Structure 1
């Protein structure tokens, strides 16, 4: 069992992600304690209050009023919406809080740099939630690459299959469907994946990149003939794979669980949860026709990277997949290749060119994560590492630290710039993309 001093935290933003990280305190109360919450939504704030036994004085309607108080804890979990990261992160860093920051860091290059500089100047730790760096298969892949078993890495081919219904939920109807309200989909969904490619490539610098992508399908002109504006009143709903009725009501959930909890997370409605969920679908954005929203983000995109030694990588993000976020990675080296296919479990396949033999590497660390933690247990390993870093004052536990996180966010911004401009971006020639 882990042992170190108890770390205290405040939670800024009590949505799914904030509640998720805060739950570490419920499972390991001797290691971690939530002492305050800031959340404008009353029911979400009260959920944290009840779960963590907080007094009214420690429940704030916004981060600003919390920040006016004397420092209340060792660290802060910041899990607000993407465009609301920079102000609380900068303010709380200046007050001496170590920061666990949900990805993306922020939605502009300037704001990402502001967070980075504020944490550096305050001497506090910053862990951006690139949870996949803590995912056992991703770590095993890194371990195998660094061992030299496939020689020099020549190419990485990485795919993020978002999932047909997941994309409709999050990036058409949901919080990340419109760039003005959030950010572009490569940043919202795949800053994880850009970061992974940089992680696996080690100390190599990306020197050039290009990108292509579009909003191919979820557009008004592709709306089926006779379709209505809301799925529950649509005459062609039965023929649509993106139907809200199919996604959220088949089968009907007795209580909130993701993704239904995003549509409606009020558990104690007098009319019952199912009726409350149906009401939300009838009147809210998650029940709208996917061809009839204000979404404007790419549903498919590719990014091509060239590194300082001539190695290359390709990232593909695509909405239209059977599997949901079951990433697949192929690493091609001079002496062999490695394959990670998340849909097949937590294993890495290694093929050796010299012996012409294959070997399966198991990711035993996966067994250590308690059940029901997101991203295949990676969320657990991230919060565990962050809490340990704060408890021991040792930032080496954090493998998604400020400098590397800023660098991979700048790579993601550069990729979107390349897509929009139709150009090849020379990262080594422009200070805009350099940490």
Structure 2
């Protein structure tokens, strides 16, 4: 069996913590030959984990891609607005690419990336990891088998979780769409992808409403301060207290481990005192929405209502799929799928076993599939190829366009036609 050789661009939470456990468990299948990462500690972590030499460590993706071709494929796990240039350069250089979602914060760049992958005959797979989970694959199987007849409508709720929202989208890397992407893309492109996959038709119309309703300076409590450590009078009772949240035991709060590297108590306290994670949630430079709804109509007549909220207890997705012969209800957090059949009036319950790996097994799943696709030279038409992912990205962009224009209906055919491919990237080497 051929060992697939990979290099990683971006060695943070996704590049290392999400995808490298698979590599470490299956060293005969996959070998890491290089890493590009500006953070020295993260480079050293890769060096130690995979016995890399100094010549295999790069500070930037430009340095890595200036070398003769090193391996079969690249994992590109940089921030949202840093995807386009290294991806185009890698494809032009002859690499296959596993790209962290979203593809780009620009719709034209997404179109261009898919086009270049086709032109070069390269696999560009997008990390829509949810498709690889037992939960969503079971949902897809039930729909495809006709268990509920023809789908008529779907209601899909994304419960972001109040602490997850505060960490990632108020204080964190995805708090401002000028630094990352709009919320509907940064967080909910998974949901747009799942909806498109379940419906199995192109979207024809989109409208959307939503806003940043709560995490604003005018809602700051009396006595609050710029930072939680500045003598805030309400810190002890605030649900978003950085001190209480980030100084918890790391096993009980996985977000706490993400604010400092390594996440020692001293490093975490320093991050709270001086970094964005210690800011008052009402006084940051955040601008992404904290709640949003999207209404969609598809070319096969299916209608979908999607709702995202940052004000929920749990981090969960709940879906209801209504068909001509029955109904499916799914609760991702509890791994519970209910199938109700109209003809018999009976309900059956499918319990999905809890998977301890990231994203309910999706992180392992996409690595397994990507390696298999490379080994068997499947470079197009794969489960989360750029071709498959582009349409759901465009749905997200159209929803944001609608939201910014008072909820006006966006005709998807016209929206697609309006997107001229971006100019070829100067990053190609």
TM-score in same-fold range (> 0.5): yes
| Distance in structure 2 (CA, Å) of the matches to 1:118 and 1:23 | 30
How far residue 432 of structure 1 moved from its aligned partner, in angstroms, is 2.9
Give the structure 2 partner of residue 168 of structure 1.
166
Give the structure 2 partner of residue 424 of structure 1.
409
> Are residues 1:261 and 2:257 paired?
yes
**Do 2:202 and 2:391's aligned partners in 1 also have CA atoms closer than 8 Å?**
no
Unaligned 5+ segments in structure 2 are 422-429
Give the structure 2 partner of residue 231 of structure 1.
228
Give the structure 1 partner of residue 327 of structure 2.
337
**What TM-score comes out, normalization by structure 1 length?**
0.93
Structure with the greater relative contact order (CA < 8 A, sep ≥ 6): 1 or 2?
Answer: 2
> Are residues 1:193 and 2:191 paired?
yes
How far residue 434 of structure 1 moved from its aligned partner, in angstroms, is 10
Give the structure 2 partner of residue 8 of structure 1.
5
How far does the alpha carbon of each residue in 1:354-377 deviate from its partner, in whole angstroms, 9 at most, with x for none? 1110001244xx57x6x4x21111
Give the structure 2 partner of residue 360 of structure 1.
349
| Distance in structure 2 (CA, Å) of the matches to 1:14 and 1:417 | 32
How far does the alpha carbon of each residue in 1:234-255 deviate from its partner, in whole angstroms, 9 at most, with x for none? 2211111111122211x2439x
How far residue 107 of structure 1 moved from its aligned partner, in angstroms, is 0.5
Give the structure 2 partner of residue 410 of structure 1.
394
1:66-105 to 2 correspondences below 5 Å? 66-105=64-103
How far does the alpha carbon of each residue in 1:263-305 deviate from its partner, in whole angstroms, 9 at most, with x for none? 10225xxxxx111111110111001100010000000000000
Give the structure 2 partner of residue 276 of structure 1.
267
How far residue 257 of structure 1 moved from its aligned partner, in angstroms, is 7.4
**What TM-score comes out, normalization by structure 2 length?**
0.94
Aligned-partner SS, 2:153: strand
**Do 1:11 and 1:36's aligned partners in 2 also have CA atoms closer than 8 Å?**
yes
1:255-404 to 2 correspondences below 5 Å? 258-266=254-262, 273-324=264-315, 326-345=316-335, 347-363=336-352, 371=356, 373-395=357-379, 398-404=382-388
Aligned-partner SS, 1:232: coil
1:144-159 to 2 correspondences below 5 Å? 144-159=142-157
| Distance in structure 1 (CA, Å) of the matches to 2:102 and 2:162 | 22
Report the count of equivalent residues: 417
Greater shift, 423-432 or 41-50, is seen at 423-432
Greater shift, 76-85 or 235-244, is seen at 235-244
| Distance in structure 2 (CA, Å) of the matches to 1:434 and 1:352 | 46
Q: After TM superposition, where is structure 1 displaced by more than 6 Å over at least 4 residues in a row?
A: none
1:132-147 to 2 correspondences below 5 Å? 132-147=130-145
Give the structure 2 partner of residue 47 of structure 1.
45
| Distance in structure 1 (CA, Å) of the matches to 2:385 and 2:266 | 44
Q: CA RMSD in A?
A: 1.7
